[in-house]
């Protein structure tokens, strides 16, 4: 799995916590893709550079779930866990979650995605999105395994 990352101290702490938790369920790897800072008026150049980096890291065995504000919304964590369980059980596929940077994802990345989903109708930074996504992946595993974490 991979997510776009940042350098916030609190995010690093959250990443470590969830990396440890998630490795109990699957081989989990957090991969940061970072391009150089660029002026706001050159955001299309930044998105294109990120696209090249992202697509270069993906393989045919990757099932890409791209996080995008206009993607599929799940009505509950249980619904997401049901979806996630189906994907985890796909033979020969690695699930890859992708969160774009502050300018979003290039259309070519969205076209490559096997699923485009959203965490919320609200706008949030990619740092917050990453924390929420990591927690929801962990929650999904605990629901799938019927462990006492999620309360209905």
Q: Domain coordinates of the chain in residue numbers? A: 9-144
**Confidence at 32, pLDDT banded by 50, 70, 90:** confident
- pLDDT at residue 7, rounded to an integer: 60
- pLDDT at residue 146, rounded to an integer: 95
Topology adopted by domain 9-144: Alpha/beta knot (3.40.1280)
Q: Is the separation of the CB atoms in 88 and 26 below 8 Å?
A: yes
Radius of gyration, CA atoms only, the chain: 15
Whole-angstrom distance, CA of residue 57 vs CA of residue 68: 19
Of the given ranges (32-46, 71-85, 92-106), which has the lowest mean pLDDT?
A: 32-46
Q: For residue 3, what are its two tokens? A: 């997510």
pLDDT at 4 over 80: no
- pLDDT at residue 136, rounded to an integer: 96
- pLDDT at residue 34, rounded to an integer: 78
Q: Is the separation of the CB atoms in 99 and 4 below 8 Å?
A: yes
Residue range 89-98: average pLDDT? 94
Residue range 97-116: average pLDDT? 93
- pLDDT at residue 75, rounded to an integer: 94
């Amino acid at each position: 799995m991979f997510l776009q990352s940042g350098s916030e101290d609190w995010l690093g702490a959250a990443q470590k916590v969830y990396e440890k938790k998630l490795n109990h369920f699957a081989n989990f790897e957090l991969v940061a893709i970072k391009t150089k800072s660029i002026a706001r008026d050159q955001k299309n150049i930044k998105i294109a550079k990120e696209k090249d980096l992202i697509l270069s890291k993906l393989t045919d065995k990757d099932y890409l779930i791209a996080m995008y504000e206009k993607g599929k919304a799940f009505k509950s964590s249980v619904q997401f866990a049901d979806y996630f369980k189906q994907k985890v059980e796909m033979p020969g596929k690695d699930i890859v979650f992708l969160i774009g940077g502050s300018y979003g994802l290039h259309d070519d990345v969205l076209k490559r995605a096997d699923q485009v989903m959203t965490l919320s109708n609200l706008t949030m930074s990619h740092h917050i999105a990453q924390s929420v996504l990591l927690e929801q992946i962990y929650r999904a595993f605990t629901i799938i395994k019927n462990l006492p974490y999620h309360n209905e």
